[in-house]
Amino acid sequence: MPGPSPPGQGATRRTWLGLIVLQLPVFLVSMDFSVLYLAMPTISDALEPTATQQLWILDIYGFMIAGLLITMGNIGDRIGRRRVLLTGAAVFGGASVLAAFATDPILLIAARALMGLGGATLMPASLSLIANMFPIARERARAIGVWTAAFAGGAAIGPVIGGTLLHHFWWGVVFLINVPVLAILFLAGPSLLPEFRARQTERFDVLGVVLSLAGILPAVYSVKTFAVHGPTPTAVATGLFGISMLALFIRHERRAAAPLLVLSLFANAGFSAALAVALVGMMAQGGLAYLTNVYLQSVLGYDVLTAALAGIPMAVTVAVFSIYADRVTRLVGVRSALVGAVMLAGFAAIALASLSTSSPLWVYMVITAVAGIGFGVQFSLVSEVVVGSAPPEKSGAASGVSETSFELGTALGLALIGSLATAVFLSRDDGHGFADSLGETLKQSGDAGPVADAARAAFVDGLHVAAIAGGGLLLVVGAVVAVAMRGASTSGPEPVLT
């Protein structure tokens, strides 16, 4: 059976080839988050889903991933990370085919749920396998940077690939593109990827799984509902229920013999700081990415494909600085690199407040490219610190916690930062009769005229406030991390491979 490089020895060419194979599912899971938004108009024309069904088609995938990441990370630790990775890939690929040929909205929703189930196994399994394959910290840091770059690349390139395919084929092709990529994983994975499982004698924490799902799923549903409809009774009730279940989950985990979540990890300042950066970083990045996409299309008037192409400079800087974040770390240390990256992303986010209703496209591209430097370094270091802080037998579970923070941050970004921008937009109405969003307002009033001009200006005002708020949050968390990680060890134990 192939294994990782022996402790103390550098990674071999075979190990680096295995890393390339590991990027395939990461790229697909990330791409699938963004590509469906392009396909929704065509899907709506073909399947005629109701408004509620459209929301479930978009959201059920993220709900399943967010709710199951911690559970699947633990299962991988117990029964084998490579086994879980390949099993999840099979579920993801089969569900992709089912989604591509869905004949009604209910079947598509079910297929998307299965894709989320498979996707929840791929992220923690792939990241935790890196800990096994790269026992030397320096090489592991570089490998995690490549992993982060693949995730960022999938999110950025997804709309470009999706837009090109949708221009030539029917909507199902955005799901079928997963199949040949996963076929490569199945052919190469068994020979290039090592297997790892922890030696466990305690019973699996089934109650912990139930409580975690009962907490995470309603919490994520609540923030997403809040983002779309505001603080409705349903959003508030599900949010309170989710919080109460999470409180019970934490109480249970303190007493469990083999807990799903090792709470002692949070005593490590580096681990807790990394999760805070993941949460706030994705909150700012996710919320502002949504708003700037609307800005490019509805304010500046670019089409979807042009807007997607405008995001490539940021994708490039995220990818490059994710891969080479370890060099930054060697120069200034983990603490300084993490704090500096968060601060840089924060200042770049605030710089988005300089955009106007007639800004040249290059201004947006330069600002977001600079932001990509900060996000690339910080997201790579988050994964590195989380994996390094956990013992090897729990790195899958720790990876699941990290990815859950990213998912929750994205949801909170849309709910909080997106809602803040909407509130400012509506406050600038001044009797024009704005609808709930810029897009709906332009549909009612047309693309030209005083109402359209006022709506675009109001949206840009909302974008400015959201950019300052998101950037300010990053600056605050950067300052907090600087204090929290002062003198703290972030390297964690070196994995002892068995």
pLDDT per residue, tens digit, the chain (498 aa), is 444 455 445 667 888 888 888 888 878 777 776 677 667 767 777 888 876 677 677 778 877 877 777 777 777 777 787 888 888 888 988 999 998 898 888 999 899 889 888 888 887 777 778 877 877 777 777 787 787 777 777 776 777 777 777 777 788 888 888 888 888 888 887 888 877 776 665 677 778 778 888 887 888 778 777 766 667 888 888 889 988 988 888 888 788 777 767 777 777 777 788 888 888 888 888 788 878 888 888 888 887 778 778 888 888 888 888 888 878 888 888 788 888 989 999 999 999 999 988 899 999 999 999 998 998 888 888 877 777 666 666 666 666 777 777 777 776 776 678 778 888 887 877 766 777 677 777 777 777 778 788 888 888 888 999 999 999 999 998 898 888 877 654 444 343 333
Distance of CA 132 to the CA centre of its chain: 23
Question: In angstroms, rounded to a whole number, what is the distance separating the alpha carbons of residues 313 and 301?
Answer: 20
For 301, counting Cβ atoms within 10 Å of its Cβ (0-12 exposed, 13-18 middle, 19+ buried), the class is exposed
Q: Measured between alpha carbons, how far is 495 from 490 in angstroms, rounded to an integer?
A: 14
Task: Take residue 202 and report the two structure tokens written for it.
Answer: 């305690």
Six-digit token string for 132: 């096994």
The two three-digit tokens of residue 314, written as one number = 């940021």
**Can you tell me which residue has the tokens 């799903």?**
260
Angle between helix axes 334-351 and 450-484 (nearest 10 degrees) is: 160
Q: Which residues of 155-175 are buried (b: 16+ CB within 10 A; e: fewer)?
A: bbbbbbbbbebbeeeebbebb
The C-alpha atoms of residue 98 and residue 85 are separated, in whole angstroms, by 20
Question: 């704090």: which residue's tokens?
Answer: 339
Q: Which two tokens stand for residue 316?
A: 């490039």
Task: For residue 83, count other CB atoms closer than 10 A to its CB.
Answer: 16
Tell which residue, 279, 278, 260, 263, has the closest CA to residue 73: 260
Distance CA 103, CA 48 (A): 10
Could you identify the residue written with the tokens 């005083």? 450
